[in-house]
Amino acid sequence: LSRIALFTSGGDAPGMNAAIRAVTRAAIAANLEVIGIRRGYQGMIEGDFQPLYASDVSGIIHLGGTMLRTARSNAFRTPEGRSRAYEQLKNAAIDAVVVIGGDGSFRGAQEMSQEYPVSFVGIPATIDNDMYGTDYTIGFETALNTVVEAVDKIRDTARSHGRIFFVEVMGREAGQLALHSGIACGAEVILIPESNAEGGKLHDFLKHGYKNKESSGIVIVAEGDESGGAMKIAERVRLDHPELEVRVSILGHIQRGGNPTADDRINATRMGVAAIEALLAGEKNIMIGIARDKIVQVPFKIAVKLCHRIDEQLLDIQRLMNI
Ligand code: ATP
């Protein structure tokens, strides 16, 4: 192994830059040459490559977004696209690649490694925290803190007016951000794709809880919840309960930006170093994770297959706090 490439792919997440820095510097320390691929798989297909030296990754550890940019690529889903991508890697003498992204990005890597002799190691980076086998994905903690800060502000105004707010947070398939932020903000109800029992809790709260407390209500809604999102559920509640003052707030893309928290930076750095160690040890088709504070290696096929988990205990705690 003498030259490796790395890229970021899929949705951006705060802490991706810290991972780029760690991979680059750990590789250089092991006497490897490093090539950065810009714009994910699309850049791989187009040969949008740049050499990375230790100084190129200075001053980025604290920045959100990704200096290599990111993209979604439909072309890479086709055999022709992957064949072009392989030609580009071969021409640049790259046979090992670190992919920083979410489950889709790892599926792409798995697909390509079945067709061509390329070793991929993955670093999980997504604000959804929905990969199996790792307690953390890079960006989740930062996004969680952004949501908590925003909801605290919404709570101030909700209490002042005695209003019920439906706050929509990101998570098309995963309710982790909604569940964790709901607990941290003392939300009265959370609605997440993984559990349909929470609809009944909302009903109870609107009928009894809100009146008893005579205060305010925060309902956190994951965008992928079966209710169809905050806007839709608020419309229905307005029809059923015209006496209540209902408002909606969709937090949107602020959840993806901002400076990564200390833990996101530290985890990104640990995983970046572990990714290079894994490649040097001849590993491939694995995701680096952190479980019980230890670095672990999880085969891609496991990391992506069973990704929609939710901690039932946390869900119970959330319910208990709203008796
Ligand atoms: P996030 O969780 O933030 O959405 P992600 O990595 O899951 O991140 P995706 O858009 O699902 O984001 O995937 C990133 C890219 O990976 C896709 O645009 C596509 O190019 C490639 N990809 C995903 N799935 C496959 C697949 N089954 N085969 C080939 N390529 C794939």
Question: Could you tell me if the CB of 81 is within 6 A of ligand 1?
Answer: no
Query: Which residue has the CA at smallest separation from atom 6 of ligand 1?
Result: 102
Tell me: the pLDDT tens digits for 197-227?
888 889 888 888 676 666 789 999 999 999 8
Residues annotated as binding site for ADP?
21-25, 155, 186-188
Confidence of residue 311 (pLDDT cuts 50, 70, 90): confident
Tell me: the pLDDT tens digits for 72-130?
999 999 999 999 999 999 999 998 999 999 999 999 999 999 999 999 999 999 999 99
Q: How far apart are CA 38 and CA 40, in angstroms?
A: 6
Pick the closest to residue 100 from 179, 34, 19 (CA basis). 19
Q: How far apart are CA 83 and CA 57, in angstroms?
A: 30
Say if residue 231's pLDDT is above 80. yes
Q: Which residues touch 237 (CB under 8 Å, ≥6 apart)?
A: 164, 166, 202, 206, 244, 246
Ramachandran quadrant class, 258 (left: phi over 0; alpha: psi -120 to 50; beta: rest): left
Residues annotated as binding site for ATP?
11, 72-73, 102-105
Q: What is the pLDDT of residue 213?
A: 63
**pTM (global) more than 0.90:** yes
